[in-house]
């Protein structure tokens, strides 16, 4: 039933791409079976590289072919005339970056003998295509999710209500925070040449809350929906905008992807165990690949490089694991030092988001150059001042709730324990009312394009 629902969900967008996910599932299932039976190391490597080649090949064709072709044309003038065509008309299958990494992690874990291969094709297919997290994560590991399909589940009321609560908070993040922020950010980025540096800074600020509300909201909806069915998915966000340095930010942002790159790329490359040169090399590799994973555009690569530059001083001075706990844990307010650290980290993050959002690298640099011009001191002028003020207030209230709930898995997780029943239901209905009243114009989830 789960497979049927998942394939229906994915095929509803474009049934033709069901063949891709089924093909990827078959390849990695058979490779896993082969690795389980094969002891010859050379043959095991062939099986592993078959899986890597197929999955990365699918990504290469559907996501990066036109990017590489355009880049080649830019480097070699006249090549386009020789080749006789511009680019291929290829539609990017939604979620392909997510499920290919999910199946790859299974094959690599089986190859390293960290995981026993499954003989249950139905369970494996459900693991690859599980609809709540299929199109935008979290990117699950077989060691966590696959085993859950192999055990009988029973309905647990407390688990279901917890899932509904997380879904509600996810909808609030997406519909109220992200979609409203998007309306202002989109207008400012689309006409950035018409605005002062102060307005452009706020445009980047609105995008920062758009992408956080959008992606963490989707993750909350996915995790909560899975919990309704008795499944536990990994946490994907842990209040990243309350981080005290960039290293902490990357431990709290898109956790399933960050840990994937750590386990399957950074550590195999040597991690931070080698000399200074190796540390710098590995840091740039992981951030550049992470940027490239997000999209076939130089803006994402520059975004990754900029985050590597942010991260390196912490790594080289061995301060990248200074802040492992929750900021101001057990306290209502942060210290002045913590507040300053969060402000600096958030500001650096907002500036980096400009490259993530800009149409191209030139647009990003022009946007940032205006921010760092004297016009940053002018009074900002928004496309819709009334809406901007409303969104500011909503973001402020959102941050208050997130701050008060920062020690929980999601901000309102313990509402049932902290509030008496009448107040609790009043809070739930208030959130629902705000969703309906202040819901912005529907915006596509940003990470669907990845």
Cite the active site residues: 294
Q: How far is CA 412 from CA 168, 177, 225, in A?
A: 9, 16, 16
Phi first, then psi: give them for residue 300, nearest 5 degrees: -70, -35
Q: Which single residue is written with the structure tokens 């650290």? A: 341
Q: What is the spatial distance between Cα 3 and Cα 9, in angstroms, rounded to a whole number? A: 10
Among candidates 52, 54, 86, 84, which has minimal Cα distance to 69?
86
Written as six digits, the tokens of 48 are 């592993």
Written as six digits, the tokens of 376 are 């940053």
Q: Which single residue is written with the structure tokens 């840990």? A: 259
Q: What is the spatial distance between Cα 366 and Cα 81, in angstroms, rounded to a whole number? A: 32
Beta carbons within 10 angstroms of residue 241's beta carbon: 20
List CB contacts of 422: < 8 A, sequence separation 6 or more: none
Q: Which single residue is written with the structure tokens 């114009």? A: 441
């Amino acid at each position: 039933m789960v497979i049927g629902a998942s394939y229906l969900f994915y095929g509803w967008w474009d049934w033709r791409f069901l063949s891709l996910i089924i093909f990827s599932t078959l390849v990695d299932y058979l490779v896993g079976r082969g690795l389980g039976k094969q002891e010859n190391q050379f043959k095991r490597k062939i099986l592993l590289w078959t899986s890597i080649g197929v999955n990365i090949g699918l990504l290469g064709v559907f996501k990066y072919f036109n990017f590489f072709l355009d880049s080649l044309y830019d480097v070699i003038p006249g090549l386009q005339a020789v080749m006789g065509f511009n680019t291929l008309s290829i539609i990017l299958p939604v979620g392909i970056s997510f499920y290919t990494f999910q199946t790859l992690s299974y094959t690599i874990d089986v190859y390293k003998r960290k995981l026993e291969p499954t003989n249950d094709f139905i369970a494996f297919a459900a693991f690859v295509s599980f609809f709540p997290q299929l199109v935008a994560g979290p990117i699950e590991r077989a060691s966590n999710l696959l085993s859950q399909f192999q055990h009988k589940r029973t309905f647990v009321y407390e688990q279901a209500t917890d899932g509904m609560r997380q879904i509600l908070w996810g909808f609030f993040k997406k519909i109220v925070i992200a979609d409203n922020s998007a309306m202002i950010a989109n207008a400012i980025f689309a006409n950035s040449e018409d605005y002062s540096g102060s307005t452009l800074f706020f445009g980047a600020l609105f995008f920062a809350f758009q992408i956080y509300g959008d992606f963490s909201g989707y993750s909350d909806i996915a995790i909560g929906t899975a919990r309704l069915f008795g499944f536990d998915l990994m946490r994907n966000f842990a209040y990243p905008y309350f981080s005290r340095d960039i290293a902490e930010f990357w431990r709290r942002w898109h956790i399933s992807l960050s840990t994937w790159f750590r386990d399957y790329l950074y550590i195999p490359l040597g991690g931070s165990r080698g000399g200074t040169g190796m540390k710098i090399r590995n840091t740039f590799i992981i951030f550049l690949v992470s940027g490239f994973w997000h999209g076939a555009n130089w803006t994402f690569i520059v975004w990754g490089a900029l985050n590597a530059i942010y991260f390196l001083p912490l790594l080289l001075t061995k301060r990248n694991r200074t802040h492992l706990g929750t900021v101001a844990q057990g306290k209502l307010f942060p210290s002045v030092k913590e507040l300053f650290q969060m402000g600096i980290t958030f500001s650096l993050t907002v500036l980096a988001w400009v490259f993530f959002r800009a149409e191209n690298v030139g647009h990003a640099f022009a946007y940032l150059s205006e921010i760092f011009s004297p016009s940053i001191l002018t009074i900002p002028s928004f496309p819709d001042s009334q809406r901007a003020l409303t969104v500011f207030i909503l973001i402020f209230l959102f941050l208050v709730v997130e701050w008060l709930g920062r020690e929980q898995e999601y901000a309102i997780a313990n509402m049932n324990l902290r509030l008496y029943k009448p107040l609790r239901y009043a809070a739930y209905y208030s959130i629902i009312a705000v969703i309906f009243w202040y819901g912005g114009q529907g915006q596509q989830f940003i990470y669907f394009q990845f």
